[in-house]
């Protein structure tokens, strides 16, 4: 499954016309991802939390909360940054579909772009919401790495897991009816997330592309969600997720595009 999702992301990046903007780009992306499937309004299903203008293009926090319509659950969530070089920026495939799902994630925003969050529910419906994100013009995907590439590789794959008894959700209070049943999990991943568009400041050669391909998260010994990444992930990305309140253990497996695999286990206090 993760290879299919990655192929979709790469296909989107390669198929977009060089001058495609706005609705043109989104029309191309949604057709490649969903074909003729109807995309329904996410007005009462998806709440997006994104800055009107980024404070730091290379590390922007984007978040959304999804509450599935009654009688169904959230099965998959796709984050699309229409104008990024790899528009399909993150995909969360839930092994255990949930009535409510929250995420926030640190991303590179390469330039002003619409952001689409698409949620698929277990009854086969597809919902979409949109926000506009403006930038400060730093060109994040080609910006030089924030740390020395050799030092970054030395710590690559180190992870930190924190689970807090904090209600996840959108600050404005939208779509929070199920949040009281959830805790928040934060995962920090040490990874340079090289986009393939960055230049080594000493050699002036391009640094080969290398980013977090998948993050598999198990709760209490069973699969919970698999995230597929892209070059849109920031350097040393952080991912926040809603998790069931009585979670006892968390296991994370990170795989990057060079085949490096790293794991992390955490037993939560009180268990």
Query: Tens of pLDDT along 229-252?
Result: 999 999 999 999 999 988 999 999
Beta bridge partners of 264: 252
DSSP-assigned beta bridge partners for residue 96: none
Instruction: Give the model's confidence band at 269: pLDDT under 50 very low, under 70 low, under 90 confident, else very high.
Output: confident
pLDDT given at position 24: 85
Residue-level pLDDT at 55 = 86
**What pLDDT sits at residue 71?**
95
Res. 1: pLDDT tops 80:
no
Mean pLDDT of 109-117: 95
CA distances for 104 relative to 71, 79, 130, 237, 259, angstroms = 25, 11, 16, 11, 25
Closest CA to 263 of 124, 161, 135: 161
Residue 2: band (very low, low, confident or very high) from pLDDT cuts 50, 70, 90: very low
Residue 240, token pair as written in the block? 């926040």
Best CA proximity match to 90, nearest among 48, 55, 125, 118: 118
Q: What pLDDT, on the 0 to 100 scale, is given for residue 196?
A: 67
More confident residue, 269 or 115: 115
Residue 169, both tokens: 């959700």
Q: How far apart are CA 91 and CA 74, in angstroms?
A: 13
Q: What is the pLDDT of residues 72-108, one digit of tens each?
A: 999 999 999 999 999 999 999 999 999 999 999 999 9
Give the 3-state secondary structure of 162-209. EEECCCCCCCCCCCCCCHHHEEEEEEEECCCCECCCCECCCCCCECCC
pTM: 0.86
Which domains occur in the chain, in start order?
2-264 (2.60.40.2470)
The SS3 call for residue 14 is helix
pLDDT 10s digits, 117-163: 999 999 999 999 999 999 977 666 666 666 776 777 788 999 999 99
CA distance 161 to 169: 19
- Angstrom distance (rounded) from CA 76 to CA 46: 13
Q: Which two tokens stand for residue 212?
A: 């977090």
pLDDT band at 218 (very low <50, low <70, confident <90, very high): very high
pLDDT in tens, 152-209: 778 899 999 999 877 666 554 454 544 556 889 999 999 999 876 666 666 667 778 8
């Amino acid at each position: 499954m993760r290879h299919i999702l990655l192929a979709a992301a790469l296909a989107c990046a390669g198929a977009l016309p060089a001058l495609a903007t706005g609705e043109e780009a989104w029309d191309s992306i949604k057709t490649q991802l969903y074909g003729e499937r109807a995309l329904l309004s996410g007005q009462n299903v998806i709440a997006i939390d994104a800055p009107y203008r980024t404070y730091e293009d290379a590390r922007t926090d984007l978040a959304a909360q999804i509450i599935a319509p009654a009688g169904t659950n959230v099965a998959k969530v796709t984050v699309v940054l229409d104008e990024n070089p790899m528009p399909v920026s993150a995909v969360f495939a839930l092994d255990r579909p949930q009535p409510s799902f929250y995420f926030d994630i640190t991303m590179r925003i390469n330039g002003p772009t619409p952001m689409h969050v698409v949620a698929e529910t277990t009854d086969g419906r597809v919902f979409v919401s949109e926000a506009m994100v403006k930038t400060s013009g730093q060109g994040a995907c080609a910006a030089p790495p924030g740390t020395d590439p050799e030092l970054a590789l030395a710590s690559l794959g180190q992870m930190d897991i924190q689970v807090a008894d904090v209600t996840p959700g959108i600050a404005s209070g939208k779509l929070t009816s199920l949040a009281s049943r959830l805790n928040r999990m934060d995962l920090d991943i040490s990874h340079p997330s090289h986009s393939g568009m960055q230049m080594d400041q000493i050699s002036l050669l391009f640094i080969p592309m290398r980013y977090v391909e998948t993050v598999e998260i198990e709760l209490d010994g069973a699969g919970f969600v698999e995230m597929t990444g892209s070059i849109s992930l920031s350097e040393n990305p952080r991912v926040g997720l809603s998790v069931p309140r009585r979670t006892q253990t968390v296991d994370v497996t990170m795989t990057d595009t060079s085949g490096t695999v790293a794991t992390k286990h955490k037993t939560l206090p009180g268990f």
